[in-house]
Amino acid sequence: MNQPRLLGLCTSTPPRDLTRAEWLTIARRLSPARVDARVLERLADRSGIDTRACACLAPPYGETFYPADDGSGGPTTTQRMDLWWAGVRDMGERASRAALEQSGCRAAAITHVVTASCTGFRAPGLEMHLIECLGLSSSVRRTNIGFQGCHAAINALAAARAIVGSEPSARVLVCCAEVSTAHFHYSDRLDQLIANTLFADGCAACVVGMSADASQPAIVATHSQLFPGTSGEMGWLVGDHGFEMMLGARVPELLEQSVGPWVDGALAHHDLARGGIGGWAIHPGGPRVIDAVIASLGRPAASGHHSREVLRRHGNMSSATLLFIIRDLLEAGIPRPWTGMAFGPGLAGELLLLG
């Protein structure tokens, strides 16, 4: 059946990986002296992360980008945006070029570019850079999904699906690129210490187009949900020293209460139920988020395996993360349909059904 499908999906990360031990060295440098080193160690141990990539450690930056805390707040927002721009250009080009090659789609055949990033702003932005470096047509239509947080990949895929649905000959390049570590906090607030511990850098790109090839995942549907009374539980604001993350302690509890009924309602639109889903791609906001979603769904702990593995190897790369999990489901040959979920400021949820 001819449907909008993922014709190619590839990922990239900065060239410098950060081990847990190396992270603790940086964490101590960022944290005010009043923060107990044992707190940082406990957060790292509970994060579920062994390694993650960090753009600020790659050339031309390095260990000096984040100096020891002196009360100044660290690099300015301008300096952090320069880091973001260098990182997304590098990762975006590598992942997009690989996705084009995997899909067998010529650069000249791309009709639309959809980009997503919540860790930086610039105009002309990533979409213009991709058009120039990949040799795309100057008439390519451009859409940017900005500042929507960890679920932005689903928003981007929803846009690509709508484009291909209305223009069956369209070929859409989707690129989600994040440099979360441009926004390490100099803070003793627990939520910001947790954000420092969890977030990482990465990029995922895919080509979406009409195809009858059943080996390629079909974008069957997307569903959105705002969870009432939760707008104060998660925030992402522009500050003088980077973007400031606010994470409410109740997020896992709220997800455990709300996700199951929401997913049931969304799946029912497609005559599906939880038991009929072959693979789950749960955005790993952290180990507790994965646990809460699995509990709400009443699924076996193994349903979160691929989410935990991406978290362990890469950390939370914001919008790019879900596509890393989908890539792993694809490479593992997990039977479809798959359900992907991610959550962001609002508190908002986005659901993706792949068949």
Task: Kindly report, residue by residue over 22-54, the tens digit of the pLDDT.
Answer: 999 999 999 998 999 999 999 999 999 999 999
Give the domain CATH number at 170. Answer: 3.40.47.10
Task: Tell me the pLDDT band of 235, cut-offs 50, 70 and 90.
Answer: confident
Residues 47 and 67 in one domain: yes
pLDDT for the residue 236: 86
- Domain boundary, last residue among 211, 228, 247: 211
For residue 246, what pLDDT band results from cuts at 50, 70 and 90?
confident
Is the pLDDT at 98 greater than 80? The verdict is yes
Kindly state whether residues 38 and 97 are assigned to the same domain. yes
Say yes or no: 207 and 245 in one domain: no
Clarify whether residues 155 and 285 are in a common domain.
no
The tally of domains found in the chain comes to: 2
Give the per-residue pLDDT at 247: 80
Active-site hit among 54, 105, 118, 150 = 150
Res. 80 pLDDT band, cuts 50 70 90: very high
Residue at which a domain ends, from 189, 211, 233: 211
Average pLDDT over residues 236-251: 87
Q: Are residue 27 and residue 175 in the same domain, yes or no?
A: yes
Same structural domain, 176 and 225: no
Clarify whether residues 136 and 233 are in a common domain.
no
Q: Which range marks the domain in which residue 315 is found?
A: 219-354
Asked whether residue 184 falls in the same domain as residue 137, the answer is yes
What is residue 97's predicted lDDT score, i.e. its pLDDT?
98
Same domain, yes or no: 13 and 61: yes
Residue 185 has pLDDT above 80, yes or no: yes
Whether the predicted model's global pTM rises above the 0.85 cut:
yes
54 catalytic residue (yes or no): no
Write the pLDDT tens digit of every residue in 293-351.
Answer: 999 999 999 999 999 999 999 999 999 999 999 999 999 999 999 999 999 988 999 99
Same domain assignment for residues 203 and 223: no
Give the pLDDT band (50/70/90) at residue 69.
confident
Are residues 195 and 65 part of one domain?
yes
Report the pLDDT value the prediction gives residue 72, as an integer from 0 to 100: 87
Question: Are 31 and 164 members of one domain?
Answer: yes
CA dist 335 → 89, 120, 352 (Å): 34, 36, 16
